[in-house]
Amino acid sequence: MDMSKYQDIFVAESRENIIILNKSLLEFEKNPATLEPLDEIFRSMHSLKGMAGAMGFEALADFAHTTEDILDQMRKKAISPSAEIIDILFTAFDALETFVEQTAIGKAYDTNFLDLKYQFEALVSPQESVETATLFPDLPIAGLASLDDEATEAIEKIAGLKSPDEKNYDVTVFLDKECQMKGVRAFIVLKTLKEIGTLVQCEPPEHDLEANKFGYQFRMTLKTAKSKEEIEQAVLKIFEIENVRIKTPTSSQESKQKRGPSKKQVAIPQTKSVRVAIEQLDNLMNSVEELVLNRGRLARVTKSLNNSQISGLIEQLARLTTNLRDEVMQARMVPASETLDRYPRLVRDVSKELGKLVDIKIEGGDIELDRTVLDQISDPMVHLLRNAIDHGIESPDQRELHGKPEVGTIKIIVSRERNNVLVSVEDDGKGLDPATLKQKAAENGICTHEEASQLTDEEAYMLVTRPGFSTSSVVTDVSGRGVGMDVVRTRIRSLGGTLSIQSTINVGTNFGLRLPLTLAIIQGLEVDVYGETYVIPLANIMETMDIYPEAIQTIKQEEVTILRGDIVPLVRLGEVLETPGAVETAMVNQEGLAAVIVEVGSRRRGLVVSGLIGQNEIVVKPLRGIINMVNLFTGVTILGDGQPAFILDVASFL
């Protein structure tokens, strides 16, 4: 059967499973006394194995199987969870992840799981396996894995033939109505049943099942020595099985008993959701945006008609389109934990590698933000975490010297603030020393000693985001190449967000990311620049003020104004944008100007405009084609009157 169409589902489900695997193993590592994480791992590993088998990834399925054995032994305390085993398990999860990611990009990955497999098998002694085998006859047997497969099969067959209790069961399986991979699920069911008995008959025939040519149920005759309950359990373990009905041909009474649903609800929570490709959501979003735009224009055009019936309808239309847009936006939102949950594992590995003790705490993982934004901050977050462990957190000895707890703490806190999401990465390490930063910046040729000496502490912290800046005397594998923070700042900026750094020596450092909730629709301030309209993203705006000629001063030929004691350099938009008529108008009429105070990072500027028009929700359209390299703008929007207006890239005015 054609598996390619199932590949995306396989990848998506496997990714989820791998996240659970890592998360649970971390929990288990922290507290080996609790068994729930192990159960969780076991469940995820099991479904991963099932999927892999169904997709025909033999090596993966086989490997997952072996891993399962180890987990099983640990669960039964047959082997103790040593640091070594945990490490191997993490390595194993990584190997699984690599496989899945390679599959995602369509590469047949030649994973050599064998090394790991042998490591595992070495951990399990044969005696224990036999014991396992007798205790849990339907679980995979690790010790036997080393036996010749054929021999094993033969032994099982003989055992089966000798069994006097073999019966024919009539098994009817009902698939979940929301099941997306009917064929695969059916295949897994058949495979599972074949493991516990002999399939005598199948209706519809097997190949029809695999080719999806059936409804939501199918019927088989299974010859096995297992009890009805055991068959039922085995089948209900599989995902997306709604129910199973099993009857022995001899007894018709049992057939009336419907089993499963209540039990199933406990085992597999029913998810009322479908997977939708991001691209499809993007297209939907685009259409909705245009609908919103047209609604605005319709309202404007019909306003002069003064027809109460039409305006009533338009009001209703406005409500509907707003709802629709909110729903689509909501559909694009995912909880931050989707990305954050991967970090404990990263922190564990990096800190181990660097010989540091680090604990990670995550708050606000349930806060939702746009899928695209979340994807885009993944790399920057990894940089920040690596930096925090490498440069922030001190070694255990040093920490003790400073009277700090041996174990350092990194906190990731996500919070909502109006239309922004704030993500902060905070460590309790040695902090940034402005003096050292200035010194290094001068040494690296980023600025002169004189320039450096004039920087405020906050400005000095921002030096770390300059290209080519590095304080590490040793270039490690983790950080110190002076590329990371530069990339972080650029990425955050391109998302329309800002990065701020706060630090106290010996107390710690806080990297704050302020991100827009969504990229497609932003709040913007429309401003008039001598007859032309531009939009400034509200996320960058601190405040607006009227500005009079006498409030403009000059320092070193640069115009500035004083805002509550702070010097704010001014940028005349009319000049930068070369607006026709800006010069003559400016000469004659200096009255009635306004300044929009914007901030990027810790730098402020006052953008001088000739008028403020108003604040609006605007739809951002990217600049495409011949105009895509004009760097003053992040995009363009269509105003209520149908005219295009460019959206200023505030950072390019600093």
Partner 1 sequence: MATYEKELRQKQIYSDSHKTQIVVFCVQNEEYGIHINKVLEISELVSIVRMPRAPHFVEGVINLRNLIVPIIDLHKRFNLPPRENTPATSITIIDGNEGNRAGFIVDEVKEVISLSVDQIDEKPMLLNQSIGSDFIAGVGRLDQRLIILLDIDNILKVSSDSQ
- Give the residue numbers marked as catalytic: 46, 68, 387
# of chain residues touching partner 1 (CB under 8 A): 26
The CA angle 489-490-492, to the nearest 5 degrees, is 65
x/- letters, 604..623, toward partner 1 (CB under 8 A): -----------------x-x
Residue 587 interacts with partner 1 (CB under 8 A)?
no
**CA quadruple 10, 15, 19, 21: dihedral positive or negative?**
positive
CB of 289 to partner 1, least distance (A): 8
CB of 298 to partner 1, least distance (A): 13
Residue 521 interacts with partner 1 (CB under 8 A)?
no
The piece of 450-458, 460-468, 493-501, 635-643 that touches partner 1 (CB under 8 A) is 635-643
Out of 471, 579, 610, 634, name the contact with partner 1 by CB under 8 A.
Answer: 579
Out of 2, 279, 366, 578, name the contact with partner 1 by CB under 8 A.
Answer: 578
Complex with partner 1: residue 151 or 627, whichever CB lies closer: 627
DSSP state of 486: H
Q: Are 15 and 100 in contact (CB under 8 A)?
A: yes
Instruction: Please name every residue paired with 241 in a beta bridge, in sequence order, or none if there are none.
Output: 175
CB of 11 to partner 1, least distance (A): 28
Q: Are 197 and 225 in contact (CB under 8 A)?
A: yes
DSSP run (H or E) holding 585: helix 582-588
Sequence-ordered list of residues with C-beta below 8 angstroms from that of 132, at least 6 positions apart, any chain: 72, 73, 76, 78, 139, 141, 142, 143
Half-sphere exposure in the Cβ direction for 649 (13 Å, CA): 17
The piece of 37-45, 47-55, 363-371, 624-632 that touches partner 1 (CB under 8 A) is 624-632
The rounded distance, in Å, linking the Cα atoms of 467 and 142 is 53
| Distance between first and last Cα of the chain | 59
Complex with partner 1: residue 352 or 621, whichever CB lies closer: 621
x/- letters, 527..556, toward partner 1 (CB under 8 A): -----x------------------------
The piece of 221-229, 368-376, 377-385, 640-648 that touches partner 1 (CB under 8 A) is 640-648
The rounded distance, in Å, linking the Cα atoms of 141 and 65 is 9
User: What residues numbered 557-576 form the site for partner 1, per CB under 8 A?
Assistant: 576
Complex with partner 1: residue 317 or 632, whichever CB lies closer: 632
Out of 172, 411, 632, 640, name the contact with partner 1 by CB under 8 A.
Answer: 632
Complex with partner 1: residue 137 or 642, whichever CB lies closer: 642
Kindly state the tokens that stand for 578. 């070369």
CB of 600 to partner 1, least distance (A): 19
Q: Are 416 and 368 in contact (CB under 8 A)?
A: no
CB of 634 to partner 1, least distance (A): 13
Residue 212 interacts with partner 1 (CB under 8 A)?
no
Residue 450 interacts with partner 1 (CB under 8 A)?
no
CB of 644 to partner 1, least distance (A): 5
**At CB < 8 A and 24+ separation, what contacts does 636-639 make?**
637/524, 637/535, 638/293, 639/526, 639/533
Complex with partner 1: residue 381 or 571, whichever CB lies closer: 571
The rounded distance, in Å, linking the Cα atoms of 115 and 98 is 15
Out of 11, 144, 193, 636, name the contact with partner 1 by CB under 8 A.
Answer: 636
Complex with partner 1: residue 322 or 643, whichever CB lies closer: 643
The rounded distance, in Å, linking the Cα atoms of 560 and 478 is 42
CB of 92 to partner 1, least distance (A): 44
Complex with partner 1: residue 90 or 646, whichever CB lies closer: 646
x/- letters, 274..313, toward partner 1 (CB under 8 A): ----------------x--xx-------------------
3-state secondary structure (DSSP) of residue 458: helix
Quick one: how many helices (H) and strands (E) in the chain? 23, 22
CB of 630 to partner 1, least distance (A): 5
Estimate to the nearest angstrom the gap between the alpha carbon of 538 and the chain centroid. 26
- For residue 272, report the phi and psi dihedrals to the nearest 5 degrees: -95, 65
Amino acid at 186: A
3-state secondary structure (DSSP) of residue 251: coil
Residue 626 interacts with partner 1 (CB under 8 A)?
yes
In the complex, the residues that contact partner 1 under the rule CB under 8 A are 290, 293-294, 532, 576-580, 621, 623-627, 629-632, 636, 638, 642-646
